[in-house]
């Protein structure tokens, strides 16, 4: 019901990305903007904008899902070969700052009589997720001065370390401020106004970020995880508590669905399908469709990074599209799954940060992922977990967790990309016809607009972090 009420106003609340400083300044006096901003509509808009950003073409299935070899391209294969420019990832940057963060900042700055503490806390939690997406992808980013158009049209970049540490503080405070009685919020598509679940999501984000910094700041990571596990608010504890944005019917459908309505250029990557096949993984029928050519009786993946001509030669009808589940109109954009939380707890235990049972949590994480996709047969799950190739290896937890987490994050390109860089598993082979000298990208390129609109701060960020290209490792990616 909340979703249906608010769809009709989302379009009017999505602030158009500015093309120059003058345009940015004029956002504050946009004649089409609401004179009396309402937190519920702003919240719905921010959630929809960011879910589309995370789940849509530019940042997911036409980039990060290709890099991480969940999907591959059978037409127009340039992105699958790592042919990107400084305009390829503009939408993540511009939309996150000019729309998602701007809407959330508006909620946070509203007077208390218009937006209660729960609205503001939820906005801070969502904004923290958006900032984490940005720093995971680019590294150093505007953080402390971001979204403050009145005072800073050229925000300074903060180091990735400072961004992560700042987000941990913000999430802790926002979670503590949430109340579970009174202070009702509406317009919340993700959790329907259930603030107890927002507490769990905030703690899950803290857990995710703690592991993101674990190789560089192990003591801070350990301290944060201890705080999270002892927090009365708890963590995401079932698939029903997964943080996800559930879409509606056209024109507000899942962006993958909208794309596949008119285009047919993506297939399941051979890397992913080969792994699933080797494990006799019961998620195969969910993750892939059989080819439409009736003479082809098995699933067929496409090698990552073929030239367009070589990919075309495989045949549209003779290769497997991603599973229908992912391009159904109402299919959700998963932001944080129960499975991911269990994998994170397993890793924390494996690192010696906690006394929990890493092996048991690892098995529970795989089970949660299977359940997430409707696989609940106890015998099938037991048989899968019992395979030697699936069993937990305490001597190489990064391999066990990394490979199974890579599978469980299928479809979540940006998060899978971050975890692959951090855990270094699975060990992927670069694109067949890649253009990076047999290397795989390890970050996204800053948008070219930053070189003109925010040149001094852009240059300082590059000096601090390293060359602005696809192969410069970020601070969290230590090994």
Interior angle at CA 58, CA 301 and CA 242, nearest 5: 80
List, in order of start, the domains of the chain with CATH numbers: 2-252+331-465 (1.25.40.390)
pLDDT tens digits, residue range 352-374? 999 999 999 999 999 999 999 99
pLDDT tier for residue 22 given thresholds of 50, 70 and 90: very low
Output phi, psi for 420, to 5 deg: -65, -40
Give dist(CA 89, CA 93) in Å, integer. Answer: 7
| DSSP per residue, 253-282 | S-HHHHHHTT---EEEBHHHHHHHHHTT-T
pLDDT over 60 (residue 49):
yes
Note the pLDDT of residue 212. 99
Out of 1-15, 297-311, 460-474, pick the least confident.
1-15
Indicate the range of 15-19, 60-64, 65-69, 234-238 predicted with least confidence. 15-19
Rounded distance between C-alpha atoms, residue 13 and residue 154, angstroms: 24
Count helices and strands in the chain by DSSP H and E runs: 21, 6
Inter-helix orientation angle 397-408/358-372, to 10°: 10
Contact 446, 93 (CB under 8 A): yes
Q: What is the DSSP letter of 59?
A: I
Residue 16: per-residue pLDDT: 35
389-418 pLDDT, tens digit per residue, is 999 999 999 999 999 999 999 999 999 999
Residue 35 has what pLDDT? 65
CB atoms within 10 A of CB 414: 25
Report residue 151's pLDDT band, with 50, 70 and 90 as the boundaries: confident
CA distance 242 to 342: 12
Contact 16, 55 (CB under 8 A): no
- With contact defined as beta carbons under 8 Å apart, do 97 and 450 qualify? no
DSSP string spanning 165-194? HHHHHHHHHHHHH--SSS------TTTTT-
Q: What is the pLDDT of residue 148?
A: 75
Reply yes or no: is the peptide bond before residue 426 cis, omega within 30 of 0: yes
Tell the burial category of 285 from Cβ atoms under 10 Å away from its Cβ (0-12, 13-18, 19+).
middle
- State residue 3's pLDDT score: 44
Report how far residue 457's alpha carbon sits from residue 196's, in angstroms, rounded to the nearest whole number.
39
């Amino acid at each position: 019901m909340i979703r249906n009420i608010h769809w009709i106003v989302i379009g009017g609340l999505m602030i158009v990305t500015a093309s120059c400083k003058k345009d940015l300044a004029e956002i504050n006096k946009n004649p089409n903007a609401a004179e009396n901003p309402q937190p519920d509509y702003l919240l719905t808009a921010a959630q929809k904008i960011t879910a589309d950003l995370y789940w849509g073409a530019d940042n997911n299935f036409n980039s990060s899902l290709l890099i991480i070899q969940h999907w591959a391209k059978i037409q127009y294969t340039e992105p699958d070969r790592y042919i990107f420019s400084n305009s390829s990832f503009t939408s993540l940057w511009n939309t996150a700052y000019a729309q998602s963060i701007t809407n959330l900042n508006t909620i946070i700055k509203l007077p208390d009589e218009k937006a209660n503490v729960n609205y503001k806390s939820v906005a801070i939690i969502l904004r923290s997720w958006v900032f984490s997406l940005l720093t995971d992808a680019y590294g150093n980013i505007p953080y402390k001065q971001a979204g403050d158009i009145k005072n800073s049209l050229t925000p300074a970049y903060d180091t990735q370390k400072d961004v992560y540490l700042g987000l941990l503080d913000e999430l802790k405070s926002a979670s503590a401020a949430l109340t579970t009685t009174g202070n009702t919020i509406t317009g919340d598509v993700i959790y329907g106004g259930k603030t107890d679940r927002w507490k769990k999501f905030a703690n899950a984000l803290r857990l995710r970020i703690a592991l993101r910094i674990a190789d560089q700041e192990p003591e801070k990571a350990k301290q944060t995880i201890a705080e999270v596990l002892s927090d009365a608010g708890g963590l995401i504890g079932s698939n029903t508590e997964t943080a996800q944005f559930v879409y509606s019917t056209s024109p507000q459908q899942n962006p993958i669905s909208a794309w596949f309505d008119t285009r047919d250029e993506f297939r399941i990557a051979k890397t992913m399908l080969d792994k699933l096949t080797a494990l006799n993984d019961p998620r195969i029928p969910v993750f892939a469709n059989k080819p439409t050519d009736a003479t082809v009786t098995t699933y067929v993946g496409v090698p990552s990074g073929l030239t367009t001509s070589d990919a075309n030669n495989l045949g549209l009808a003779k290769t497997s599209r991603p599973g229908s589940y992912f391009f159904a109109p109402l299919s959700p954009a998963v932001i944080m799954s129960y499975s991911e939380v269990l994998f994170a707890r397993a890793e924390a235990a494996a690192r010696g940060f906690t006394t929990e049972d890493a092996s048991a949590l690892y098995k529970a994480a795989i089970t949660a992922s299977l359940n997430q996709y409707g696989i609940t047969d106890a015998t099938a799950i037991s048989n899968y977990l019992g395979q030697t190739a699936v069993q937990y290896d305490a001597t190489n937890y990064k391999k066990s967790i990394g490979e199974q987490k890579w599978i469980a994050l299928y479809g979540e390109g940006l998060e899978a990309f971050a975890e692959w860089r951090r855990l270094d598993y699975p060990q992927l082979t670069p694109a067949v016809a890649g253009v990076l000298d047999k290397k795989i990208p390890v970050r996204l390129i800053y948008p070219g607009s930053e070189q003109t609109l925010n040149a001094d701060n852009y240059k300082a960020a590059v000096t601090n972090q390293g060359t602005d290209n696809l192969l410069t490792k970020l601070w969290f990616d230590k090994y």
